[in-house]
Structure 1
Amino acid sequence: MRIVFMGTPDFAVPTLDALTAAGHSVVAVYTQPPRPAGRGKAPRPSPVQARAEALGLPVRTPLSLNDAAEQDVFDAFEADVAVVAAYGLILPIPVLHAPRLGSLNVHASLLPRWRGAAPIQRAILAGDERTGVTIMAMAKGLDTGPMLAKVSTPVDEKTAGALTEELAHAGAALMVQVLDQIGAYPPIVQPEDGVTYAAKIDKAESHLDFTAGPVAVERHVRAFNPAPGAWFAHKGERYKVLAASVDSQPGPAGTVLDEGLLIGCGEQGSLRPTLIQRAGKGAMATADLLRGTAIPAGTLLE
C-alpha cells in the first residue's frame, strides 16, 4: 500500500519500522517540527523524523494542516491510507478523507476508555488492571472513530516507560495485521458507556502528595517514570522517585519514619523509595543515596 505515516515521539517509531519491514511504500512521513532541546536549546528533530531520515524517507514538518496549500500537498501523495501514531496535530477533515481508505490511528488504550493525550499515564494512575492498544478509523472528534482491532495487556507493576514500549510494539504489529487483512476488520462504533478522557499531564501532578495514601503515591511514581518524574523536596532540593514499594506501617504524611527513608502516607501505610535521583545526578538505589546524604527519621519532606 501507499502510506502516509504521521507520528512524532518514540512510541510511533516501531509502527513506522513495521510498515517498512512489511513492504509497504511509505511515500511521506509527517511529524512535529524540531524543538529546542538540551542545554544549548538547539533544535532537535523528533524521534520519528530521525528514524525516517535514517530510512531515507521524505519528511514534512508543517506547523498546521489547516492551510489549503498544505492539504493539496498531502492530497498529491495519492495515499491508500494514512497511518497515525501520536502525531500531535489535529487532522482536518480534508486530510482525514484524502487517502483512499481513510486514516487509521494507533491509540494506546482500550477505547472508549482513555481518549486523549496521556492514556498510558492515566491508566496507571487510575489503577487499571489492564490496558492496551486500539486501531481506530479516524473521524472528527477526539479519538471517537470506530474501532477495528484491539490487543490488551496487564498493567501489573509496570512504569509508564515500560508500558509505552510494550504498547508501541504491540500497536505496530496490530496495525500491520489490520492493513494486511483490511476487509477482515469491520468498524465497530465506540459505545458511549465507559468513555473517559486522558488529560495531558500537568507537571504539577508530579509533586508527590503523601496524603493521598501509599497505593496512590506508588502509582504516581510509576506513571511519571521516566518523565516528568515524581518528586519530593528536602532542604530546597528536588529528589525524583523512580521506583518505590508500599509498606503497611502508618505514619504522618510526608514524615520520614526510619533511617531507610520510609515515608509516612497517613493511616493507610507508607512508601519506601527504592530508586531515586538527585538533580543533576544519575539514578541510584536509595541505600546508596543515604550513605552520602542523610535524611533522618522525623524529617518532614516538602
Structure 2
Amino acid sequence: MRIVFMGTPEFAVPSLKAVAAAYDVTLVVTRPDAVRSRGKKLEPSPVKACAVELGLPVLEAKRMDAAAVDAVRAAQPDLICVVAFGCILPDELLAVAPLGAINVHGSLLPRWRGAAPIQRAILAGDERTGISIMRVAHDLDAGAWCRQVATPIGTKTAGQLFDELAQAGAPELVAAAAQIADGSVTWHEQDPSQVTFAEKVKKGEMRLDPADACDVNALRVQASTDAAPARCQVAGRGVRVVLATVADVNAPQIGTGEVLAAHGRVLLGCVDGALELLRVKPDGKREMDASAWAQGLHGANGAPWERA
C-alpha cells in the first residue's frame, strides 16, 4: 500500500517509523524548517529529520495550497496518514487518496477535539485519556473513529502523556491502515452530545494563583509544557514550576499567598491548603530540585507568592 505521511512534531515520529516499516511511504509532508530552540538557527521538524534518516522524499509546506496538493497527488497514495501536521487540510486533498485520510488524535473522541487534547484532559481532571484513529473530515476532528486505546492519567505529566500516546498511536495507525485496505474496518460515528473542544492553552491560564485551590494549581503544573509553562513569583522572583503536588495533611500550615521554605521543602499557601514544589526552574537558571532551590530562599518564609 502506498502512503503519504503528513506530520511535524516529535509526537508524529513513532507513527512515521511504524508506517514506513509496514508500507510504501511515497512522500512525507511536513512544516518548513523553523527556529525551534533557543538558538537562532533554522532546524528541521522532527518528522523531516526522521524522514531524511529513513531515506524518504520530503515536501515542506506552510499550507496545503494547490501546488502542495498536486505534489501529494503525484505521489499516488492509496491512503494519507496524518499525525499532528499543523494546519487545516482542504477537502481537495482528502479526495486525492482512494482510501481517504486518517489521523492519530490524542484523545478518546468525541471528548477533546482540537489543538490541545492532552493538556485539556489533565486540566479538567479527567481520569483517563488515549488515542483515536479517525477519518479526517471537513470539520475539525469530527470524523468517525475506528480504533481507540485508553490510558489512565493519574499523576503523569503532559510530557509523559505525549510520549506514551505517541508510542501507542503508532501500531494503531498501522493496524487501522491494514483494516481499511482489506475492508474489515469498523467506523464509529461521534456522539454530538458528548463533544468537548480542546482549545490551545494560553500562557495566562497556566499562571499559578494563591486564590485558587491546591488541586487546581497542581493540575496546571501537571499540564505544563514549554509553550505554556506553569509559573509564579516567589518572594518577588519568577520561577517555572516543573513538578509539584498537593501537600499532605501533615505539612505545616501556612496562610494563603505565603511561602514556607524549610527542611528542604518549599510550600506555597493556597486558599485551601498548600502546594508543595518538587522541581523548579528559576528565571535565568537551570532546572533543579525544589530542595536545592530552597537553600537559596533565605528570608522567604512568610513572604508572598503570586501570579507571575
TM-score band, normalised by shorter chain: over 0.9
1:263 matched residue in structure 2? 268
1:159 matched residue in structure 2? 157
Aligned to 1:127, the other structure's residue is in SS state coil
Residue range with higher mean Cα deviation, 227-236 or 12-21: 227-236
1:72 matched residue in structure 2? 70
1:150 matched residue in structure 2? 148
Deviation at 1:217, TM superposition (A): 0.6
Residue range with higher mean Cα deviation, 241-250 or 200-209: 241-250
Q: How does 1:14-53 map to 2 (within 5 A)?
A: 14-22=14-22, 24-53=23-52
Q: Distance in 2 between matches of 1:135 and 1:149?
A: 5
Deviation at 1:180, TM superposition (A): 2.2
Aligned counterpart for 2:123 among listed residues 122, 125, 129: 125
* Paired residues of 2:103 and 2:135 also in contact (CA < 8 A): yes
Q: How does 1:182-193 map to 2 (within 5 A)?
A: 182=180, 183-193=183-193
Report the residue type matching 2:246 in the other structure.
V
Aligned counterpart for 1:99 among listed residues 97, 100, 107: 97
**Could you give the per-residue CA deviations for residues 159-179 of structure 1, whole angstroms, max 9, x where no partner exists?**
000000000010111111112
Change (3 A) 1:11 1:300: same
1:301 aligns with 2:305: yes
Report the residue type matching 1:5 in the other structure.
F
Aligned counterpart for 2:284 among listed residues 280, 283, 289: 280
Report the residue type matching 1:274 in the other structure.
L
Instruction: Give the TM-score taking structure 2 as reference length.
Output: 0.92
2:295 matched residue in structure 1? 291
**Alpha-carbon RMSD:** 1.6
Change (3 A) 1:10 1:188: same
Q: Percent identity?
A: 44
Report the residue type matching 1:106 in the other structure.
V
* Paired residues of 1:261 and 1:297 also in contact (CA < 8 A): no
Report the residue type matching 1:86 in the other structure.
A
Change (3 A) 1:283 1:188: same
1:176 aligns with 2:179: no
Report the residue type matching 2:4 in the other structure.
V
* Paired residues of 1:8 and 1:49 also in contact (CA < 8 A): yes
Report the residue type matching 1:136 in the other structure.
M
User: 5+ unaligned residues in a row in structure 1: which ranges?
Assistant: none
